[in-house]
């Protein structure tokens, strides 16, 4: 079998990544809520005509929350695969992973408040 070219390999990698993103959105309730919030915030950005800097911060915050949620889901799925039975150490790992999502979500919420509260009031 001939070796894949660099471009073919990159295209295939993007395909796997898109498949993973779609699986995440289709199968995880928390990411569905976060995607909905991201769409609402994006609509809010157009409605309030936010600045380029505000768009950058908003897109960064949304991307960070969704990305960390994806990593959290991967950690949880891997932990459940490795140890299907309850294990205190696995629970600790999963709690830390969920805590990371919470911290990033709090930061994203603060960014949203900084951007939108002055525009609303």
The catalytic site residues sit at: 69
pLDDT band at 3 (very low <50, low <70, confident <90, very high): confident
Mean pLDDT of 67-82: 96
Whole-prediction pTM: 0.90
Give me the DSSP letters along 38-79.
Answer: HHHHHHHHHHTT--HHHHHHHHHHHHHHHHHHHHHHHHHHHH
d(CA 47, CA 27): 30
CATH value of 29-119 in 1.10.287.3610, 3.40.50.300, 3.40.50.720, 3.40.50.2000: 1.10.287.3610
pLDDT of residue 95: 97
Round to whole Å and give the CA distance between 89 and 105: 25
- 4 assigned binding-site residue: no
Is residue 119 a known part of a binding site?
no
Was 88 annotated as part of a binding site? no
For the cut 80, the answer to whether the pLDDT of residue 78 exceeds it is: yes
pLDDT of residue 34 exceeding 70: yes
Confidence band of 65 (pLDDT split at 50, 70, 90): very high
Please report the pLDDT score of residue 1 as a whole number: 63
Domain locations in the chain as residue ranges = 29-119
Mean of the pLDDT values across residues 90-113?
97
């Amino acid at each position: 079998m001939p070796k894949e070219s660099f471009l073919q390999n990159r295209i295939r990698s993007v395909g796997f990544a898109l498949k993973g993103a779609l699986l995440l959105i289709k199968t995880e309730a928390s990411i569905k809520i976060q995607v909905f919030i991201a769409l609402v915030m994006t609509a809010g950005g157009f409605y309030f005509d936010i600045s380029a800097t505000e768009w950058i911060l908003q897109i960064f915050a949304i991307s960070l929350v969704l990305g960390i949620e994806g990593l959290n889901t991967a950690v949880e799925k891997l932990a459940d695969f490795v140890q299907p039975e309850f294990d205190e150490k696995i629970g600790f790992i999963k709690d830390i992973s969920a805590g990371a999502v919470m911290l990033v979500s709090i930061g994203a919420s603060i960014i949203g408040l900084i951007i939108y509260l002055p525009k609303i009031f």
